[in-house]
């Protein structure tokens, strides 16, 4: 069994590591998190590090998935901002989109010039996504979309939204759901940022009132929306696919540095950090295995990604809870804006978004283990 | 939810009085504004800020058991009136046998930067919300008071910290090792009551929410996974309650055993955080919004857990006490 | 709030502590665990330490429940064998039995001269006890009992069995279940010891083939069996009621001694032992609260005991797992009969017997928290 | 359940061969008798005990990846044939560049009393079931062999330990620090594969049991609590598998990075025990009987976890390696 071609990977890794030393950026004054990440995406793109595993015909490098893991690992180790998480959107177009859609949308997605958001969840369709009620009504060569979306990250900065709406009968559950590309400047869209428990406003509510969308903006056929959504959420459950390997690696490295800054690491901290290192590395190795499998089988991610999501959430929550305990009260007695507390709070959301932990465990039990319903 | 152990009529009335004040705090507080001056006023009018003042014989006006009732009920609303700081500062003065160093005012305590114990220099004042202007600390065995600069906020949104401004002034009282142990035991129980109130209340509202929120065509509270999450959290709340009640009784019965106080704080420090985390899971997305109060409970218990030693530190300390390697002082 | 009268309790405690120094016994060669515990029960009885909270008219001391906790605590601290666990059987007679039954059975139960076992579980009625199928058919002034029981502790040594059997319709669930006292020497009873995973044979299967039991051996009316069973299992969920406080206390004390035997306790062991101490003391304090409540309200234990069972199981499993790690491989590389491994394995059963952990959590959620079914 | 990563045709055949031997072990073994001589014979006949023997260039006859397949499959049956001991002893001789010290016989390794590492004096031989008669150990850098007394049993019922009887004899080979690190890395991966097999198999049978055992009128596998218990255990098995596969690949690809081996053993040591504990919970009462195999899996993983450092010790060690405070040697 081979996880990768080690010599080529090693060369890639060392090239990337060198590049990162000179190119890592820091936020500018007043720059929002979203705009900072967008700028970093563009810097990475110009360096040639985005779309490693995308087909060359759409601007990618056509490399194996293993390179995405290395990108994640090296970005994490360098302490640079998270790797961009665009793989799953691209995959939706490659799998279901028309040639025209690919040519129209993929370049901007890849370069980071267009910022995309995702209109899936609704107030009454959270973990139970099939309960969504936003309607898309056909009207000649266009659709008229009306409904409410929630938990959309950075919608206020987005150029496009991948939106799920019901083209079939109300209450049809998984049937009659379609996916659309909606330009965010369309008339009838109202975006309201939600202040998160961290104090940041990453999430938004989106209200659609009779928003006109051209028929050619539908991805796939009517009713393909559910399959597109399932593929998308499966990607979102993978730690490399969403760039979280880099996020965790950077956090762990920073934590190790902070705790050992005076050269002495107390036994309990050494033990705790060692255990975190074990969990993080197991996650990394698991991700490499998954991507290798995906490549060997030339398959899209499926229910097995719920295993990855549980492992990823476990690292996220264990790491950030331990950080609060290891760093002590100083991260709590500061005024507004404690980065470690924000990361901790956000880690609590990790078992909620993208399908709650309970939903992931249902999927594992019923779809992977075949346990009876 | 009140303790299932019988409370005296007096205690029941006390709990009702405090619950009313807490309820007003909860219902009138806007998400953006953390102004608890009216809560503080109500607590003062009811005499609840003076519970650990000394009577003519130097004994406290109220039992630790009564203090626990008051602190738990106010913590249920994550109220920011500086009640706990004032109770601790008052207890400190009573034990040092000095009169109120700053008459008729809210007070709090000066702790070292790691919040591990009382301090005088390089200190910060915890629970320093309006109208706190001074804090009491310890310089060696000597009680000192220092004026404070304006509060600088903290991640426990309703309990800012403040930095001392003026010099430390001796106030004439001292605390020997026994008195210091007594103070720490009292403080541990008060903090454990705060952890109990903040975690217990958010769990109750999560259970209520689970009965209403529908997903997959039924209330999420019908799912066994959600039921078991709540059931485990309930066990942790009940165990916290048992530990707090027992520790309070131990101190009130005057046996001078500080172990139950350490146990209550050590257990509460980890259990309360886990309870609130479970409640957040039940609430789902709404709990991750600023508007919804769950994160206030989370922030409260995270900071409480660190004050005067977190669960990990106190567990190690308890081992030493039980092995006879320490006299109970940290 | 008062947990106890401290001065009288203190006097009792010191008297007991002194007594224990002189009277603790050790197993004799070839003595079975059951017979050893029976002998210890009799020694305790002669010392006046059994039935502390039983009514004086039936040979008890009429003291508050707090004394049972002290008994548990002191036995545990002294390292003596477990306290006898007879409280719940006595309670069944006090609550449902006839005066004649009390006079006939309670003295031997109290003194330890009679050894009792419990015939509740069946192969298809474990956590789902209401599924029991053992039948008791009325035949004049007697019943004929046929069926199979399992997981009965020490049935081979028992003089009497409290047996649940169905007097009502088959499949009647909670209805039509009755409780009987069955002398174990009755014709038609076949007892087969089950070798447990520990290597010991504490448990037995019992086969009842047309066993005749006199009508006066029925406890309560026909159909009262379910209430009697529920009260009994509620008692069994309490750490003082089953004598486990003493067991855990002794184990923790011994573990502390073993780990600190060379005068040096490594930081990680100190931390771990401190955390175990916290959990054990919280359990003890919780039990004292429960017994105080039970006394204040003059009530029988109910669904709230599922909270106690979860806490007790947590201490049991955490303590004995930690013991294996703290004591290292020496307890695993010995030949047959590793006491700490046996305790560990038995701790895994703690979340199974007396209603599985899943059943306890259901009871807490639905009956205590009122969550919807 | 086999790895979902593609295996070569050769590997698939290898796995099938071993699975047949393991299946015979499982189906013919009486509860009271732990005689694995026929399993050993089958392994010898298939050449599987020689996998880490040296070819003419000193390279091993089989890859670590193939060893992992063999060890995992045999561990699924908790077979007591001294395969792991023999593989470790053979690897040790290969690394020390010596010929078979005891030709054509089962062998095992000498470890210190705490099982933390190779030893010569005050040592015991682990995995010393029939027909093991000798064990290889390390005295400083020197490889030694000692004859063994009869095995004395252990709590891993199918893997007795034995005490050395004869004196330690030098066999002419030495192990420098690098070779010792290489040996430990190999041993960690083999133990991690043993943990994976023993825990993965018992979970699969628990899941099957849950589909059949009826309580409350339905298979217990329909209850969400049971499903989630199994699902969490499955995640831990899959993570173990990923760590083992990656560590084996790392060693085989010759990059000499020992970290993945430490990670696989450290993770497996705690995860496997938790997996078996969960399986026991699903089985309920039957798992607590001697007759039922679950406790054999439990005993196996408990002892495996301690060999050459438990999860706790290896985690601390990993921190030192990552911080550059250690060269990978324990």
Closest CA to C177 of C229, C121, C118, C116: C229
Task: Name the active-site residue from A74, A122, A202, A236.
Answer: A236
Asked whether the predicted pLDDT for residue B290 surpasses 90, the reply is yes
Mean pLDDT score across all residues of chain D:
92
Average pLDDT value for residue range D32-36: 74
pLDDT in tens, B243-279: 999 999 999 988 768 999 999 999 999 999 999 999 9
Asked whether the predicted pLDDT for residue D1 surpasses 60, the reply is no
Whole-angstrom distance, CA of residue D304 vs CA of residue D314: 13
The residue with tokens 């040697």 is D329
pLDDT, position D104 = 65
Residue numbers in A near D222 (CB within 8 A):
371-373
Give the distance, in angstroms, between the CA of residue A135 and the centroid of all CA atoms in the same chain.
Answer: 26
DSSP-derived letter for residue B232 is: H
Could you tell me which residues come within 8 angstroms of residue C145 by beta carbon, excluding any fewer than 6 positions away? C134, C135, C136, C137, C163, C165, C180, C182, C208, C210, C211, C212, C213
Give the phi and the psi of residue C312 in degrees, each rounded to 5.
Answer: -65, -45
Whole-angstrom distance, CA of residue A283 vs CA of residue A312: 7
Query: Residue D214's closest chain C neighbor by CA?
Result: C124
Whole-angstrom distance, CA of residue B32 vs CA of residue B26: 13
DSSP-derived letter for residue A218 is: E
Asked whether the predicted pLDDT for residue C299 surpasses 90, the reply is no
% of chain A at pLDDT higher than 70: 98
Give the distance, in angstroms, between the CA of residue A50 and the centroid of all CA atoms in the same chain.
Answer: 15
Structure tokens at A47: 């360096």
Mean pLDDT score across all residues of chain C:
92
Q: Catalogue the active-site residues of C.
A: 236
Structure tokens at A192: 């309201």
Domain A116-223, what architecture?
Answer: Beta Barrel (2.40)
- C317 and C348 in contact (C-beta within 8 Å)? yes
- B86 and B98 in contact (C-beta within 8 Å)? no
DSSP string, A97-136: --HHHHHHHHHHHHHTSS-EEEE--BTTBSS-GGG---EE
Whole-angstrom distance, CA of residue A72 vs CA of residue A83: 6
pLDDT, position D133 = 93
Asked whether the predicted pLDDT for residue A291 surpasses 60, the reply is yes
Q: Do D285 and C352 touch (CB under 8 A)?
A: yes
pLDDT, position B325 = 66
Whole-angstrom distance, CA of residue D203 vs CA of residue D209: 10
Structure tokens at B31: 């998400």
Is some CB atom of chain A closer than 8 A to the CB atom of C270? Answer: no
Q: A228 or C238: whose pLDDT is higher?
A: A228
Q: Do C288 and B224 touch (CB under 8 A)?
A: no
Q: D28 or D108: whose pLDDT is higher?
A: D108
Residue numbers in C near B318 (CB within 8 A):
274, 277-278
Residues of D near C (Cβ–Cβ under 8 Å) read 113-115, 124, 126, 152-156, 161, 214-216, 223, 225-226, 273, 277, 280-281, 284-285, 287-292, 294-295, 298-299, 302-303, 306-307, 310, 312
Average pLDDT value for residue range C75-97: 88
Asked whether the predicted pLDDT for residue B327 surpasses 70, the reply is no
Does CATH number 1.20.140.10 belong to domain A229-368? yes
Asked whether the predicted pLDDT for residue B101 surpasses 80, the reply is no
Could you tell me which residues come within 8 angstroms of residue D14 by beta carbon, excluding any fewer than 6 positions away? D66, D69, D70
pLDDT, position A65 = 82
Render the burial of B267-300: b for 16+ CB within 10 Å, e for the rest.
Answer: bbbbbbbebbbbbbbbbbbbbbbbebbbbbbbbb
Give the distance, in angstroms, between the CA of residue B5 and the centroid of all CA atoms in the same chain.
Answer: 21
pLDDT, position C52 = 93
Q: Taking the C-alpha atoms of B200, B206, B207 and B209 in order, what is their torsion angle to the nearest 10 degrees?
A: 150
Which residues does residue B138 pair with via DSSP β-bridges, in sequence order? B143
The residue with tokens 């330990």 is D161
Asked whether the predicted pLDDT for residue D255 surpasses 80, the reply is no
Quick one: pLDDT band at residue D330, thresholds 50, 70, 90? Answer: very low
> Residue D30 burial (CB < 10 Å; 0-12/13-18/19+)?
exposed
pLDDT in tens, B172-187: 999 999 999 999 999 9
Q: Domain limits of chain A?
A: 6-111, 116-223, 229-368
Sign of CA dihedral A123, A129, A135, A139: positive
The 10 Å Cβ neighbour count of residue B107 is 26
Average pLDDT value for residue range C106-120: 94
pLDDT in tens, C134-180: 999 999 999 999 999 999 999 999 999 999 999 999 999 999 999 99
Closest CA to C179 of C237, C116, C127: C116
Quick one: pLDDT band at residue B2, thresholds 50, 70, 90? Answer: very low
pLDDT, position A142 = 97
Mutation target for C interface from D108, D127, D155: give the one with most C CBs within 10 A: D155
- State in Å, rounded, how far the first CA of chain C is from the last one: 36
> Residue C26 burial (CB < 10 Å; 0-12/13-18/19+)?
exposed
Of A150, A196, A332, the CB nearest to B154: A332
Domains plus CATH for chain B? 9-175 (no CATH), 178-322 (1.20.140.10)
ipTM: 0.95
pLDDT, position B33 = 62
Mean pLDDT score across all residues of chain A:
92
Pairs across B and D, CB distance < 8 A: 8
Whole-angstrom distance, CA of residue D239 vs CA of residue B230: 28
Q: Do C333 and D303 touch (CB under 8 A)?
A: yes
Is some CB atom of chain B closer than 8 A to the CB atom of C133? Answer: no
pLDDT, position C162 = 96
pLDDT in tens, A299-332: 888 999 999 999 999 999 999 999 999 999 999 9
pLDDT, position A370 = 97
Asked whether the predicted pLDDT for residue B4 surpasses 80, the reply is no
pLDDT, position B329 = 45
Helices B177-210 and B259-283, packing angle to 10 deg = 20
Pairing of strands A116-119, A160-166: parallel
pLDDT, position B1 = 34
Is some CB atom of chain B closer than 8 A to the CB atom of A366? Answer: no
Query: Residue C272's closest chain A neighbor by CA?
Result: A268
Give the phi and the psi of residue C33 in degrees, each rounded to 5.
Answer: -55, -40
* Helix, coil or strand: residue A243: coil
Q: C204 or A77: whose pLDDT is higher?
A: C204
- C211 and C146 in contact (C-beta within 8 Å)? yes
Whole-angstrom distance, CA of residue B89 vs CA of residue B134: 10
CA distance B245 to chain C (A): 8
Could you tell me which residues come within 8 angstroms of residue A350 by beta carbon, excluding any fewer than 6 positions away? A312, A313, A316, A317
Of B235, B238, B312, the CB nearest to C271: B312
- Which fold is adopted by the domain C6-111? Butyryl-Coa Dehydrogenase, subunit A; domain 1 (1.10.540)
Average pLDDT value for residue range C259-268: 88
Asked whether the predicted pLDDT for residue A1 surpasses 70, the reply is no
Asked whether the predicted pLDDT for residue D329 surpasses 50, the reply is no
Average pLDDT value for residue range A220-239: 92
pLDDT, position A261 = 81
Residue numbers in C near B259 (CB within 8 A):
281
* Helix, coil or strand: residue D241: helix
């Amino acid at each position: 069994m081979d996880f990768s071609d080690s010599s080529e990977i090693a060369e890639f890794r060392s090239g990337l590591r060198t590049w990162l030393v000179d190119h890592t950026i820091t936020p500018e004054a007043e720059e929002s998190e979203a705009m900072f990440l967008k700028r970093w995406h563009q810097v990475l793109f110009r360096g040639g590090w985005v779309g490693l595993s995308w087909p060359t015909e759409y601007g990618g490098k056509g490399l194996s998935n293993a390179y995405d893991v290395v990108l994640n690992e090296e970005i994490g180790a360098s302490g640079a901002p998270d790797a961009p998480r665009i793989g799953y959107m691209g995959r939706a177009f490659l799998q279901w989109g028309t040639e025209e859609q690919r040519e129209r949308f993929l370049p901007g997605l890849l370069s980071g010039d267009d910022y995309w958001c995702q209109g899936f969840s609704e107030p009454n369709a959270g973990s139970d996504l099939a309960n969504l009620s936003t309607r898309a009504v056909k009207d000649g060569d266009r659709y008229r979309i009306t409904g409410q979306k929630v938990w959309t990250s950075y919608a206020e900065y987005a150029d496009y939204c991948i939106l799920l709406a019901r083209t079939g009968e109300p209450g049809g559950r998984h049937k009659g759901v379609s996916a659309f590309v909606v330009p965010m400047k369309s008339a009838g869209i109202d975006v309201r940022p939600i202040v998160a428990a961290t104090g940041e406003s990453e999430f938004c509510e989106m209200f659609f009132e009779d928003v006109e969308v051209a028929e050619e903006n539908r991805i796939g056929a009517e009713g393909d929306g559910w399959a597109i959504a399932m593929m998308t959420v499966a990607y979102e459950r993978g730690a490399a696919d969403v760039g979280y390997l880099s996020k965790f690696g950077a956090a762990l490295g920073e934590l190790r540095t902070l705790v050992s800054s005076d050269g002495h690491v107390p036994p309990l901290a050494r033990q705790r950090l060692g255990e975190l290192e074990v969990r993080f590395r197991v996650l990394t190795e698991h991700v490499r295995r998954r991507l290798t499998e995906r490549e060997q089988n030339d398959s899209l991610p499926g229910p097995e990604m719920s295993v990855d999501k549980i492992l990823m959430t476990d690292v996220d929550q264990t790491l950030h809870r331990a950080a609060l305990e290891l760093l002590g009260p100083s991260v709590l007695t500061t005024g507004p804006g404690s980065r470690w507390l924000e990361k901790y709070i956000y880690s609590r959301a990790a078992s909620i978004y993208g399908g709650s932990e309970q939903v992931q465990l249902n999927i594992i039990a019923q779809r992977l283990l075949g346990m009876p319903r | 939810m009140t303790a299932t152990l019988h409370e005296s009529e007096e205690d029941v009335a006390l709990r009702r009085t405090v619950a009313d004040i807490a309820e007003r705090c909860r219902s009138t507080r806007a998400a953006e504004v953390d102004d608890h001056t009216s809560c503080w006023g109500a607590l003062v009018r009811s005499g609840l800020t003076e519970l650990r003042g000394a009577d003519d014989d130097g004994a406290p006006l109220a039992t630790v058991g009564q203090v626990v009732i008051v602190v738990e009920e106010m913590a249920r609303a994550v109220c920011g009136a500086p009640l706990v700081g004032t109770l601790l500062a008052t207890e400190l003065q009573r034990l040092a046998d000095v009169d109120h160093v700053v008459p008729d005012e809210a007070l709090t305590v000066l702790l070292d930067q790691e919040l591990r114990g009382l301090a005088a220099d390089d200190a910060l004042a915890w629970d320093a919300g309006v109208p706190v202007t001074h804090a009491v600390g310890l310089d060696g065995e000597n009680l000192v008071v220092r004026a404070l600069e304006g509060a600088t906020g903290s991640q426990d949104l309703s309990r800012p910290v403040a930095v001392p401004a003026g010099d430390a002034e001796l106030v004439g009282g001292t605390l020997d090792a026994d008195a210091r142990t007594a103070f720490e035991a009292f403080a541990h129980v008060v903090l454990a009551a705060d952890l109990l109130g903040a975690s217990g209340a958010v769990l109750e509202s999560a259970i209520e929410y689970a009965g209403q929120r529908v997903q997959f065509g039924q209330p999420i509270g019908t799912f066994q996974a959600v039921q078991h999450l709540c059931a485990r959290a309930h066990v942790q709340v009940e165990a916290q309650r048992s530990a707090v009640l027992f520790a309070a009784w131990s101190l009130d019965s005057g046996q001078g055993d500080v172990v139950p106080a350490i146990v209550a704080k050590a257990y509460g420090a980890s259990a309360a955080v886990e309870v609130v985390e479970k409640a957040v899971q039940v609430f789902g997305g709404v709990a991750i919004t600023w508007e919804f109060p769950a994160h206030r409970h989370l922030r409260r218990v995270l900071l409480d857990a660190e004050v005067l030693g977190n669960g990990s530190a106190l567990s190690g300390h308890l081992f030493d006490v039980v092995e006879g390697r320490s006299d109970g002082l940290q």
